[in-house]
Amino acid sequence: MRRAIVAANWKMHGRLAMVRDYLAGLQGRDGEYDSVELLLCPPSVYLPALGRGLDAGAVGLGAQDCSPEGEDGAFTGEVSARMLADIGCHYVIVGHSERRRRCGETDALVAAKFAIAQAAGLTPILCVGETAAQRDAGEAKETVKAQLEAVIGQVGIAAFGSASLAYEPVWAIGTGRAATPETAQSMHGVLRQTLASHDGDIAERLRILYGGSVKPANAAELFAQPDLDGALVGGASLVPKDLLAIVAAAAAAAAAAKH
d(CA 117, CA 156): 15
Of 37, 98, 130, 168, which one is the catalytic site residue? 168
Burial of 73 (0-12, 13-18, 19+ CB in 10 A): exposed
The residues, ordered by sequence, that sit 6+ positions from 111 with a Cβ below 8 Å of its Cβ are 150, 151, 153, 154, 155
Measured from the Cβ of residue 256, the count of other Cβ atoms closer than 10 Å reads 11
Q: Is there a catalytic annotation at residue 139? A: no
Q: Which residues pair with 166 in a beta bridge?
A: 127, 209
The helix/strand count (H/E) of the chain reads as: 11, 8
What is the enclosing helix (H) or strand (E) of 218?
helix 216-223
Q: Which residues pair with 59 in a beta bridge?
A: 38
DSSP secondary-structure letter at 123?
A: E
Of 96, 105, 130, 188, which one is the catalytic site residue? 96
The residues, ordered by sequence, that sit 6+ positions from 255 with a Cβ below 8 Å of its Cβ are 35
Q: Is there a catalytic annotation at residue 149? A: no
d(CA 64, CA 76): 18
Active site residue ranges: 96, 168
